[in-house]
Amino acid sequence: MKKGIMICAGIVGILTACEQTEIREITEDRYVPQPVDTVSVMDNYYLDGYTVRTAADLGENRTLQAVNLCLDEGELYVANAAESCVDVFDAEALTYKRSIANGDRTLARDVYVEGDHLFVAAGNNREVQVFDKRTGTYLTRLGTGSWPASNVSWAGCVAATKRFAFVRDSKEQNVRVFDREAIELMAANNNAVFARLSTPGNFIGSGTEPQGDSYDMEVIGDSLYAFIPRSGIVYAWKISEIEAQKDNTPTSVTTPTGVKIRSVAKGKDDSSLFVAMEKNGKMQLAEITLSDFQSRRFDRPLREFTADSRVVLPSQPIITYLYERLILTGSDKLERWEIRNNPSYVIRPGGK
């Protein structure tokens, strides 16, 4: 009897000891960093939204031979060699607005707007005509309009700054510089030349520069550039040195390997340009930085567009750029391509 009681007492003691041990399941909110996928955006720019304007858009049974153009304050000025005038279009809508001419003398080969004035290189009439750009009123001319008295022979290319007007023509192997501060707008002729910038061996009318071609000369940054598209030669002169050294202005001459520039247009800001050029035997439109252009680096474009089975580019395009649109001369038409982007997204797991 006593022995049984002792066993029970032991069991009770064990149970008592078990009651003192408490097992709890404890949960806590903890933040554990999770791998986050990163997204890389790859831009895929292309040309689309093709628009064309022909002689039919000018009306009145007129013809169109668009050999050059210039963009200024929302208006597009087009040198129309076939009609001996400059046709003005709304640059954004590309609709015809009006024409500018000095009778039948405006044998337009190039056009340039600077300030209040429109300059028209009048080809075989041996002059650059000056107009009020807003009213279209003819003001005066650079040269006399006759040979050999004129300091302009065959006017094929023109550009300007606030101070100077520049003319490339035939016969003489240079660019004639006229001082706009000395131009008399009421005079019949302004024939005094401020300076002559050398283009040794090259002149419009030579074998490498046929008079029927279109040519571009542009003021970019602090320099004037003239392009010889068939050979690839690029001439450059600093504007400040022209003012100081006149006929003795140093000429920078470069021949980019594999690149022949047809024309240049200002990009969306002062840091970039669009270039129409023949590269490795193919016509292409490329956006490059101003610094790369100045150093003649054409191998790392920001964007580039090459002719293919869908996009046909003219053989001698003079271009301009406006709001992600490129406008080109196409001889008997004006063409416009919109720059579009179809980006692709690349997911990289784990934030790597």
Dist CA 335 CA 315 (whole Å): 13
For the chain, give every domain's residue range.
33-351
Dist CA 270 CA 298 (whole Å): 18
Whether residue 273 is predicted with pLDDT greater than 70 in this model: the reply is yes
Q: Which of 128, 113, 123 is nearest to 219 (CA)?
A: 113
Q: What is the CATH number of domain 33-351?
A: 2.120.10.30
pLDDT at 349: 73
The mean per-residue pLDDT over the stretch 21-49 comes to 74
Dist CA 261 CA 274 (whole Å): 11
Per-residue pLDDT tens digits for 205-250: 998 899 999 999 999 999 999 999 999 999 999 999 999 999 999 9
Instruction: Beginning with the edge strand found earlier in the chain, give each strand of the sheet holding 325-329 in spatial order.
Output: 45-54, 333-341, 325-329, 319-321
Confidence of residue 350 (pLDDT cuts 50, 70, 90): low
Q: Say if residue 31 is exposed, middle or buried (CB neighbours under 10 Å; 0-12, 13-18, 19+).
A: exposed
Per-residue pLDDT tens digits for 314-336: 999 999 999 999 999 998 999 99
pTM: predicted TM-score of the whole model, two decimal places: 0.87
pLDDT at 255: 87
pLDDT at 297: 93
Dist CA 221 CA 224 (whole Å): 8
Dist CA 146 CA 140 (whole Å): 15
Whether residue 72 is predicted with pLDDT greater than 60 in this model: the reply is yes
Dist CA 269 CA 289 (whole Å): 10
**Residue 143 DSSP code:** B
In this structure, which amino acid lies at residue 26? I
Dist CA 276 CA 263 (whole Å): 5
Q: Which of 243, 242, 241, 275 is nearest to 260 (CA)?
A: 275
- Residue 77 in contact with residue 118, Cβ under 8 Å? yes
In terms of residues, how long is the chain? 352
The mean per-residue pLDDT over the stretch 129-153 comes to 95
Say which residues have a Cβ less than 8 Å from residue 74's Cβ, sequence separation at least 6.
90, 91, 92
Q: Which of 296, 134, 331 is nearest to 225 (CA)?
A: 296
Our CA angle for 51, 56, 61, nearest 5°, is 165
The mean per-residue pLDDT over the stretch 92-121 comes to 97
Q: Which of 158, 72, 173, 159 is nearest to 123 (CA)?
A: 158
Whether residue 5 is predicted with pLDDT greater than 70 in this model: the reply is no
CA dihedral 122, 125, 130, 132 (to 10 degrees): -80
Whether residue 339 is predicted with pLDDT greater than 70 in this model: the reply is yes
Per-residue pLDDT tens digits for 164-202: 999 998 778 899 999 999 999 999 999 999 999 999 889
